[in-house]
Structure 1
Amino acid sequence: MKKVLLIGEPLIRITPTNYQELTDGVESRVFFGGSEINVACNLQGFGCETKLLTALPQDSLGDRFLDFLDGKGIDTSSVQRKGERVGVYYMEAGFGCRSSQVYYDRGQSSLEAIQVDHFDMEQLFLEVGLVHFSGITVAIGSAVRAWLVQVLKEAKRRKIPISMDLNWRSKMIGLRDAKKVFSQFATYADYCFGLEPIMANEKDWELFERDTATVHTIRERMQTLKEAYKFQAIFHTIRQTDELGRNLYKAYGLADEFCCSQELKTQVLQRVGSGDAFVAGALYKLLEGTSLKAILDFAVASGTYKCSIEGDHMRQSLRKVESLLEGKNDIIR
């Protein structure tokens, strides 16, 4: 299996302990991550080699983040040491009727300092079989979009498949701008995760009503987007909470056929990064060349397993994730 090249921003999450709100003197925990980095960590656990294109500042914090990436086994040969800072976000974990809150502090992070003329394209794409990026990376700003386009064009020239997780963050980019910009980048993608915010046609400025959608309307939306952007496959997740507070997780996929995964349920320790775990599971099985049903089932199992693990990512073996599909959650003696 060839390497996956991931393009994205290193990010530090700071979360108060015990579901507290962020205020003076509150005890907090720090987690290293970022969407594409989370995907890379998950893939490494499955045995798939990864490479990261990003930037870190030339300071002690940048050194520690680089050590973290190296410790996960991620190829960091394309990590540039540029810029002034690592992006940060603060998350207050919700409890009961109180929703989680996120506050971003990621302006002018090192990713914006990357220069395309410093790339060694031969080295960057060496042994790479797939490129993955997210809408979060696209939303960072025009400086990032300028060099990202060049990398994606080079991947296309080399006939390397490209995957995009739409991953819209409304606090980073408004809906109308996201519709325009994400749609431009979706034209480079062979595989798409999500149904929004990209345009099915020139009048498609509203969000798809996923909360009230039926299987029929979901399939219709997926088919329209697949044809409009010539995706090889498109994926959509459904996550709900039952009366006992358990997370219900399933997904739909459309390639040559339309398919639904099995549904898995679990109590949630931490939901952060479960979408990235789903993407990692799907990418692994795509590279393996398995059926659409097998791709969806494993991806859902991966996303579900992450809900049981604290932090922004996980590094679990194939065997552990596959055990969820076999219903094996007893004590292993």
Structure 2
Amino acid sequence: MGSNPLDRTGLYALVRRERGVSEHGKRHQRSDWNRRNYSSYIVDGGPWLNILCFGEPLIRLATTGYERLEDAHILEVTYGGGETVVAASLASQGENVAFASKVSANRLGTNSLMMLARCGVDTSRVLRSNERMGLYYSERGRSIRPSIVTYDRSGTAMAMASHTDFDWDQMLNGVDLLFFSGVTPAISEEMYEACKEGLYACRGRGIHVVCDLNYRSTMLEPSVAFERMHQLLPNIDELIASEDDILSISSANISKNEMFDYCLTKFRGLFLDYPLRSACFIVRQSDRYDFGSFRGALLTQNGEYFSKTQRAAITDLSSSGSIFAASMVHAQCCKWDPQFCIDYATMASAYKATLAGDLCFATETELASLLADTAQPSIRQ
């Protein structure tokens, strides 16, 4: 691990013990059910990995029920942000996770870090400053009305940070895998430079780099976003995306029936154009009755793998793409068979859509059990 391994003390260690992970970062023995139902998919147990997520925590202000923002009298306060959601999900699935960022030194910033710590995420690599926290307003859609997210993140601690604030030698000490999303290099030119420096540092250390495309049209024009990703992709090992990312950048008008094949064609092109080890995406579609279908694809150097189509009643689609990304990272850290990896991550995305809010604390056991062929009780007690 190195001289400054991920923290194993205090609340972080307690949460990890409760989630079935030893002080040395190894899983405790899986239950008989787990070994019986999906151990056959494990290709190689491999060493446990230490994951660093680099991004910006945000305050999430959400209307209650299905209210529009204009009609709201109460806003629920929670925390989110792509990398934040991924870090919390990875920790819930049993991974060793640390978070790196620059966050406001006020009470809201502290509370966002406390939320991550409660999940078992190490926040010792987070810098603090006097700038504000970023936030976003979320209203859930219903039937023909789409969900809407409104961002307010100018002048935040990350937006005002310099790329020189981040000491990658120290931040990457003991790290095996770096995760970030396309949102982070879109925050500012300085954060774009910080991401480039981080990726170069990872390449020199042999650290695996995973990027969730996570494109936000309100932050960058498609041409600028594409150019930045074009510069970053040569140092990225694995690319993850959703249908929204692919459609936003391409500005294509694609029917629902053509969506999966269109995304597959685009990702095949990316896989040929850049030195990616793997690439995966998920296509999420919902009808006017708030019922959705979820299907994923994983492209590797050894072949292509397609998930079963999962269907679920939708409560909130937000962050279902981030949960897909987190679960794919976890599955590949476990060195499971590629087919099981994409099935597992797709199921996780569908599972998240049944939950309100951005965060999902589902465990590996919960998600894998949903893929079992055996019947499950309607009420577990």
With 295-304 and 217-226 compared, the bigger mean Cα shift is at 217-226
TM-score by length of 1: 0.91
Structure 1 pair 178–210 and aligned structure 2 pair: CA distance change class (3 A) = farther
Cα displacement (A) at 1:310: 2.0
Q: Distance in 1 between matches of 2:155 and 2:123?
A: 21
Q: Which residue of 2 aligns with 1:94?
A: 141
Aligned: 1:75 with 2:122: yes
Q: By how many angstroms is 1:98 displaced?
A: 2.1
Is residue 2:344 matched to residue 1:303? Answer: no
Q: Secondary structure at the match of 2:51?
A: strand
Match of 2:318, SS state, is coil
Match of residue 202 from structure 1 = none
Residue 330, structure 1, aligned to residue 378, structure 2: yes
1:17-36 correspondence to structure 2 within 5 Å: 17-23=64-70, 26-36=73-83
Kindly indicate whether residue 286 of structure 2 is the aligned counterpart of residue 227 of structure 1.
no
Structure 2 Cα separation of the partners of residues 241 and 168 of structure 1: 20
Deviations 1:131-186 (A, max 9, x none): 11111112111021122211111011101111111111111111121121222222
Q: Is 1:254 paired with 2:302?
A: no
Flag the 1:141–1:265 CA change in 2: closer, same or farther, 3 A. Answer: same
Q: Distance in 2 between matches of 1:71 and 1:10?
A: 15
- C-alpha contact (below 8 Å) 2:55/2:84 kept by paired residues: yes
- CA 1:77–1:191 in 2, change beyond 3 Å: closer, same or farther? same
The residue identity in structure 2 corresponding to 1:232 is: R
SS at match of 1:163: strand
Matched, 1:317 2:341: no
Unaligned runs of 5+ in 1: 200-204
Over the aligned positions, Cα root-mean-square deviation in angstroms equals 2.3
Q: Distance in 2 between matches of 1:267 and 1:215?
A: 20
Q: Is 1:292 the counterpart of 2:329 in the alignment? A: no
Distance 1:206 1:279, change over 3 A: closer
Taking the aligned partners of 2:244 and 2:191, their CA distance within structure 1 comes to 19
Q: Is the 8 A contact 1:235 1:252 kept in 2?
A: yes
What is the aligned partner in structure 2 of residue 279 from structure 1? 325
Whole-Å separation in 2 of the counterparts to 1:329 and 1:276? 28
Q: How far apart, CA to CA, are the structure 2 residues paired with 1:84 and 1:152?
A: 26
- Cα deviation for residue 89 of structure 1 reads 0.7
| Preserved contact between residue 243 and residue 259 of structure 2 (Cα < 8 Å) | no
> Please, which moves more after superposition, 252-261 or 90-99?
90-99
Cα distance in 2, alignment partners of residues 33 and 322 from structure 1: 25
Residue equivalent to 2:284 = 239
> Is the partner of 1:236 in helix, strand or coil?
strand
2:44 counterpart residue number? none
Secondary structure in structure 2 of the residue aligned to 1:78: strand
Aligned pairs for 1:1-333 (under 5 A) are: 1-23=48-70, 26-194=73-241, 206-207=250-251, 211=255, 213=258, 217-242=262-287, 244-255=289-300, 256-326=302-372, 328=376, 330-333=378-381
- Counterparts in 2 of 1:329 and 1:298: CA distance versus 1, 3 Å: farther
CA distance in 2, matches of 1:197, 1:269: 18
1:243: Cα distance to partner?
Answer: 6.5
Name stretches of at least 5 consecutive residues in structure 2 with no aligned partner. Answer: 1-47
Give the Cα–Cα distance (whole angstroms) in 1 for the partners of residues 105 and 293 of structure 2. 43
| CA shift in 2, pair 1:197/1:8, >3 Å | same
Distance (whole Å) between structure 1 residues aligned to residue 331 and residue 72 of structure 2: 45
Contact conserved, 1:189 with 1:231, CA < 8 A, in 2?
yes
**Secondary structure, counterpart of 1:226 in structure 2:** helix
Q: Which AA in structure 2 matches 1:57?
A: S
Distance (Å, rounded) in 1 between the aligned partners of 2:276 and 2:174? 23
AA of the residue aligned to 2:258: A
Distance 2:165 2:230 in 1: 27
Cα gap change, 1:97/1:216 in structure 2, threshold over 3 Å: closer, same or farther? Answer: closer
| Deviation for aligned residue 1:96 | 2.5
Change over 3 Å in CA distance of 1:25–1:120 after alignment to 2: closer
Q: How many equivalent residue pairs?
A: 328
Q: Secondary structure at the match of 1:331?
A: coil
**Which deviations, in whole Å up to 9, do the C-alpha atoms of 1:215-252 show, x marking residues without a partner?**
65544332221121111111121112256532111101
Deviation at 1:318, TM superposition (A): 0.9
| C-alpha spacing 1:60/1:294, structure 2 compared with 1 (3 Å) | same
Partners of 1:198 and 1:64 lie apart in 2 by 30
Distance 2:281 2:166 in 1: 34
When structure 1 is superposed on structure 2, of 109-118 and 252-261 the one drifting more is 109-118
